[in-house]
Structure 1
């Protein structure tokens, strides 16, 4: 993604910030440029190794392992077999990563590792075995660039002599280590689950073997991936500590990123309950499968030769976002009498359908313009304009350098839901979450049409801007959805109906408070006194 002056990807669900020339934005631009050229914090001199081991190869292996799992958490992938997996794992707070407890599927055993191998061009790599059913069924390579600004994970081609040689070495080491004594220790929680990680041991492989290890890289997909420090949110600025088992550590820009959660004032409990439903939307497997079919491949040249990267679309889950605050908004419009079109008064279902199919007529497109996806083998234009748009991918052309895409993940005659996605055309969506559009019928016979969103800023840039640049991006998002209210109301009033814009409900509480309620750890009353 292109990150320029104001990083317009800071908006709630789909909006853009406009260019500002004040000192704050100039400072922000400086920080972005510094971040783009920085290396990984984890591999920096400032990073504090938590392990008490004196084995430098083991300490390096743990850094690769930590970043591999961090990538999984941020991109909702399962490269490691230890995150988003059916395997039973335990979290090690000292090393900030999971370790295997009981395997039901493959996993990368990062406690068995090669020595650190230095390439002629200065790149550094390390090798881990991919284990399934007590067999080495693959070898994962972690390749770190010389300047420590790019980290890729991929697999050796199984058809090469190199793979056959190395895999037998790792299988022998695995067989040697995983005897009954070690398995007993592991079951008793003594190997990798306390304050220290059990060092299973290293494998010495032939250095600088040359040749292409093969294997394709799938960014955002299910095979392999990686990239610069931004992809891991691990750029060498500064770090915050991670809570036990958390999905996302914080990354500060100096002291600029401070935890400043917005207060959650009292709002009607019915509104709270609807927000929680929106936050907890589940996406059907059919939609996830469709995203996995949206791919873009390209090749890069490394010391090994050409490696193919395949970017794969995937859902951006609110749990994997960065910001400590969560946006929860509700923009209602009361329609007392529905509009007349071509001599016929519309039903509420017909009017909502008109809004959906002509959404650009009901928002200020200087903020965002919506277009059905028609790239990379997908053409959703007919689907979007059909009577059931479920599964439609919508690309959003946002003012400025950054854009984003969403998917229709829920649909009925009285509502539809957009969910944020990562996609090959626009990359990371600047927020992660869901937004509902729909109507409800009131007791007096009127209707309330609405847009309701729950989302978090995906990366650290959004929180930096929110805390340091006068309240945008959220203020710009509010302007977008207020334009949605005004355009709907104006349309109704100019087409033989009556309508009025209602005061929006906008709250930005601490995400953890909301998540505790979603997880059943706290009652609704912790969010609002109106919830008894």
Structure 2
């Protein structure tokens, strides 16, 4: 009986350790320094370039897509942010959770060109969708599997014209609009999404990691930001996209941050600035002292 009691105590200790709340002050990734928010120094992005999920793949995830699994010799790095007056009645952690729980609203906006929802809803796996929703809406979303709808035009067949001899041959392909991500790290003030290949959602258009965070920006202001490192993935559907995958991603985040701005302004947190210009491709692997390659227009 004494051994059983001892086992019960040990089990309780282990269960308590696994249930511990997130530690304040911990972080999943590094923000850019507050005085270098426009920096293109690749050293500031190495943490996400080298990020390997410390957790296992969620159910229906076939594989994680780290930057090293991408194709080509270019990689997108970006740092988007919004600076706003801090609220008088919330902590950084409380507001960060509020923002996180409005990701669907920020993605959809007024036109619903994009979307964000728990993985499984699109495919009517209702029980699994509900499981991911609850995990995402909890205080610790680590492990939640979520889906971004990246561009409505991807959902339609694409027509291509190619000249073959004296003839113009027209073909069309279907492009997949969804990109699935798994939350692979979370604290009370930041988290990381890692792109994945899933059973139903196929392969995300990019291979990489994107972190989101919030911090004090000084002078009564806070900053909400995201930092990313991603390469084009080996998804077949990337071939059907009329723009580069990085252009499509940038257009998505322009809308997203515009909607974040509207949310903050409407909730008594006047926005001081929204910056979405610290983006673009650099060489892969990172080359610290070389100019970046020429980047195609997203127009």
Contact 2:216 2:222 in 1 (8 A): yes
2:80 maps to which residue? 331
Alignment of 1:260-275 (within 5 A): 269=39, 272-275=42-45
Cα 1:454–1:404 shift into 2, 3 Å: same
Separation (CA, whole Å) in 2 of partners of 1:425 and 1:503: 32
Q: State the number of aligned residues.
A: 225
1:423 to 198, 212, 215: 198
Contact 2:205 2:235 in 1 (8 A): no
Cα 1:462–1:277 shift into 2, 3 Å: farther
Cα 1:463–1:407 shift into 2, 3 Å: closer
Task: Tell me how far 1:268 sits from its aligned partner.
Answer: 5.2
1:502 maps to which residue? 275
1:436 to 188, 204, 211: 211
2:246 to 465, 474, 477: 474
Cα 1:408–1:332 shift into 2, 3 Å: same
Confirm or deny that 1:363 pairs with 2:133.
Answer: no
Cα 1:423–1:463 shift into 2, 3 Å: closer
Separation (CA, whole Å) in 2 of partners of 1:321 and 1:376: 31
Could you tell me which runs of 5 or more consecutive residues in structure 1 were left unpaired when the two chains were aligned: 1-265, 296-311, 339-343, 517-523
Q: Give the structure, 1 or 2, with the largest relative contact order (CA under 8 Å, sep 6 or more).
A: 2
Confirm or deny that 1:351 pairs with 2:121.
Answer: no
Separation (CA, whole Å) in 2 of partners of 1:433 and 1:494: 33
TM-score by length of 1: 0.39
2:234 to 442, 449, 459: 459
Instruction: Note the alpha carbon deviations across 1:461-500, whole angstroms, 9 max, x for none.
Output: 677678xx5x543333212111222111222222222112
Task: Tell me how far 1:336 sits from its aligned partner.
Answer: 2.4
Contact 1:395 1:405 in 2 (8 A): yes
Separation (CA, whole Å) in 2 of partners of 1:460 and 1:494: 39
Separation (CA, whole Å) in 2 of partners of 1:267 and 1:359: 23
2:158 maps to which residue? none
SS in 1 for 2:256: helix
2:137 maps to which residue? 385
Separation (CA, whole Å) in 2 of partners of 1:277 and 1:527: 21
SS in 2 for 1:353: helix
Confirm or deny that 1:283 pairs with 2:32.
Answer: no
SS in 2 for 1:509: strand
Instruction: Note the alpha carbon deviations across 1:88-143, whole angstroms, 9 max, x for none.
Output: xxxxxxxxxxxxxxxxxxxxxxxxxxxxxxxxxxxxxxxxxxxxxxxxxxxxxxxx
Task: Tell me how far 1:505 sits from its aligned partner.
Answer: 0.1
Contact 2:37 2:79 in 1 (8 A): no
Task: Tell me how far 1:460 sits from its aligned partner.
Answer: 7.3
Separation (CA, whole Å) in 2 of partners of 1:495 and 1:376: 33
CA RMSD, aligned part only? 2.9
Separation (CA, whole Å) in 1 of partners of 2:217 and 2:48: 20
Contact 1:395 1:406 in 2 (8 A): yes
Instruction: Note the alpha carbon deviations across 1:272-328, whole angstroms, 9 max, x for none.
Output: 3332222221211xx22x43xx25xxxxxxxxxxxxxxxx62211211111321111
SS in 2 for 1:345: coil
Contact 1:322 1:460 in 2 (8 A): no
Separation (CA, whole Å) in 2 of partners of 1:464 and 1:315: 21
Separation (CA, whole Å) in 2 of partners of 1:363 and 1:321: 25
Which structure would you say has the larger Rg? Answer: 1
TM-score by length of 2: 0.66
Cα 1:510–1:270 shift into 2, 3 Å: closer
